[in-house]
Structure 1
Amino acid sequence: MTCGFLKFVVGQFAPVLAGLALHFVPVAFYLIPIHGVAPFKMKTRVQASFINVSPGAMFLCTAAQKQGTRYRPTALDRETKREVILEMHRLETLSRIAMIVIAVIAVVAALSQVESLLAPVVLALVVGIVLSPISDAWEKRGLSPVWGALTSLVISLMIAVLLVLVIQPVVSELMRQAPKVMDDMRSTIIHMRHMFQGIQDASKEVSDAITPATDGAKDGGGNGDKSAVPDAKDLVMLAPSIIAQALIYVGALFFFQLSRGEIYNWIAKHLAEPSSRGATAARLRKAETRVSRYFLTITVVNGGLGLAVGVAMQLIGLPNAPLWGLVAFLINYILYLGPAALIIALGFAGVATFDGVRVILPPLIYIVLNATEAQFVTPAAIGRQMRLNPLLVFLSLTFGIWLWGPLGGIVAIPLLLWALVLTNSLPDPKSEPEQKLEAD
């Protein structure tokens, strides 16, 4: 009797109980954390109740269906479901951003760890892209690509040797003149202290800060020079690493020049959709052509700047004027940071060579010549559409130097330009007249 009465009650009230349970399950999740994990928002518990349905709720839904009733979601349920979907999309976006950040950190750490292996390879690829017109010229004449690869290799090695031969005497001269420069700076500061008595305290602090360094240079000048210049033991220890990196560079440059077309086709085949493989390969070749054309034009401009600097330094009587012109030509490839370093070096050379107001002539002349080149000559030569964003240039240089030192600064600008051209971030000067006609 009792069992029959219970069955009757359950049969009559099961649909009602199921509906009440489904309506109150979200409220229960406001108070009870899901699976023992407290959500970061109270609303998330309501949202999670529609995703993580408990076995009891599933039983109630099944009981309602067996009794021939159908649960109809209310407007509140539909709104909550929409919020759940929006929350899931937001969490998915945040997870993607977190994965990208983690991937970038991992890539940067890997690049830093494999510097000795990857840096010469990247340098070889950059030089190969810049010197690609040489290989193309040999191939157009019907000769083997080997000749183009060998020519590019010889030219790059000659430039490297020339760079070492030019920089070494200048650096040695600056190091030799360092004690004299410090003495001249100390004398200048003392003279300024006598001229401006009103700033005696500030000038005294500067003089006290410089005097110990000057005395140390006087007392231990020979020891300082010996510690600054690597001795034979240091060179012997560094020789295997330098030779290994040079061999990696030579091999990577030669084989890249030998098989550029095959590499581009392989990249297009494996990294692009089947319908856009031809366009991807053509874009890679177009980026290579524009980068090489850009650096060929910049080489001519830098050559003119170096010639002007050399002549100007000769006219004012600065020693080794041709070397300074050659340094100005080479260092101008490193935008912003290269000229800034040369201004400092010319300032030291002026202090070491001249007296009085003439000490500022070398850096001042170079600033005027460099500003003229940057504001007038370069835009006229390469067009304003190929001018790079100064912030991107500065950040890429900073990142490259921080990651791989001077070598990173050398490859930063070519890689940045190649990436911008490859992603169509720089307009094509040939297509610019056509775009103007279409706009008209």
Structure 2
Amino acid sequence: MVDHAPSKLVRACLITLTFIAVVAAAKEAQNLFAPATFALVLGVVLSPVVSRLDSLGVPRSVSAAFALIFGAVVIFLLIVALGPLLSALIDQVPRIQQQFRGWMNELTFMLRSIGGINFDVERTISQGGENAVEEAIPSVAEALWLAPNLFGQLLIFAGTLFFFLMTRDDIYGAIPQYRVALKQADRAVSHYFVTITLINLGLGVSLFCVLVLIGLPSPMLWGAAAFIANFVLYLGPLTIVFSLLLAGLLAFNSAYALVAPVSFLMLNAIEAQFVTPALVGKRLKVNPLVVFLSIVFGLWLWGPLGGIVALPVVVWAYALVSAQSKRGTASEY
């Protein structure tokens, strides 16, 4: 009898080493793989639009160019919408630093009175805090150095998106055993993320209305932040909660400061427990642990962009496996 244990161990080791090598290459070549992956994700979401234009007789190159322009316009509008939010947050940094320095001074004084411990926290904050904004904003020389790199990433993104949309049928046709499942996965993921976008928009508008009633400054900016952050599950809403708590403490001097974060928690709970399951259903429901770990891995690998593309990649892979398994089950009968 042949013992297959060594061969299985060797195969497992090879798979592990291959995975480590791929991850290391993806991390090292972030400027190449990150925009290309983001383009592929956007291409999957926009693929039904291209397919619809194909059915109307529009040439594939024209429909791909239209989808590219549409995606670029949407991304540009999101960046423009984020501009006022970032400016408002930068304007609030000195005030936050001053308030935080006051809290740290009180905490340090209390700890000193208890144990006689000497802390330099407030000195560090006072010396380095004032320059935090200046250090965060790149200089003109740094901006000029980053410009070619940014242009190259934009070129990679645009080229990958255009040629993927134009040759998607050819790519899928090269692997006929997965062609139907791939297209089903594309449609499912596109429907999923269009629905999630509308849900997040509703969440942002609801938060805006609540903050107007509460009287928290810049409610429109907080609504836009909630809309964008909710795409990064778990971590995004958690960031909004802590940010609203800090904003409430700066704006109000009583327990009223807790109204804003608690209101967002309630809105997010309603969205996650009732609205999203009702509109999306359970056909693309991925294990929450897998979702969380994939987002954390994406953030570690490529930063914010990795956190954005992590969930679409996981959902697409899950939809592909589900479609292929259903197709395989149906072929057995």
Whether these two folds match at TM > 0.5 is yes
Secondary structure of the equivalent of 1:386?
coil
Secondary structure of the equivalent of 1:424?
helix
User: Which residue matches 2:114?
Assistant: 201
Aligned positions of 1:25-424 closer than 5 A:
82=1, 85-86=2-3, 89-185=4-100, 187=102, 201=114, 208=119, 210-216=121-127, 221=130, 223-266=131-174, 268=175, 277=176, 279-424=177-322
Describe the shift of the 1:188–1:226 C-alpha distance in structure 2 as closer, same or farther (beyond 3 A): closer
- The CA distance in 1 between the partners of 2:289 and 2:6, in whole Å, is 32
Asked whether the equivalents of residues 195 and 279 of structure 2 are also in contact (C-alpha less than 8 Å), the reply is yes
- CA drift of 1:211 comes to 2.4
Asked whether the equivalents of residues 26 and 33 of structure 2 are also in contact (C-alpha less than 8 Å), the reply is yes
Relative CO higher for 1 or 2, CA cutoff 8 Å, sep ≥ 6? 2
Asked whether the equivalents of residues 184 and 323 of structure 2 are also in contact (C-alpha less than 8 Å), the reply is no
Secondary structure of the equivalent of 2:283?
helix
- CA drift of 1:362 comes to 2.3
Q: Give the gaps of 5 or more residues in structure 1.
A: 1-81, 269-276, 429-433, 435-440
Describe the shift of the 1:149–1:142 C-alpha distance in structure 2 as closer, same or farther (beyond 3 A): same
Deviations 1:324-367 (A, max 9, x none): 21221122111111112222222332233332223223222211
Q: Tell me which amino acid in the other structure corresponds to 2:141.
A: K
Describe the shift of the 1:256–1:118 C-alpha distance in structure 2 as closer, same or farther (beyond 3 A): same
TM-score (norm 1): 0.68
Greater displacement, 167-176 / 359-368: 167-176
- The CA distance in 1 between the partners of 2:169 and 2:139, in whole Å, is 45
Secondary structure of the equivalent of 1:91?
helix
- CA drift of 1:427 comes to 8.7
Q: CA RMSD in A?
A: 2.8
- Specify the structure having the higher radius of gyration (Cα): 1
Deviations 1:163-202 (A, max 9, x none): 32233332333233233224334555777999xx999638
Aligned length: 327
- The CA distance in 2 between the partners of 1:134 and 1:373, in whole Å, is 27
- CA drift of 1:265 comes to 0.5
Q: Tell me which amino acid in the other structure corresponds to 1:181.
A: I
- The CA distance in 1 between the partners of 2:112 and 2:286, in whole Å, is 44
Describe the shift of the 1:260–1:426 C-alpha distance in structure 2 as closer, same or farther (beyond 3 A): closer
Q: Tell me which amino acid in the other structure corresponds to 1:289.
A: R
- The CA distance in 2 between the partners of 1:157 and 1:375, in whole Å, is 33
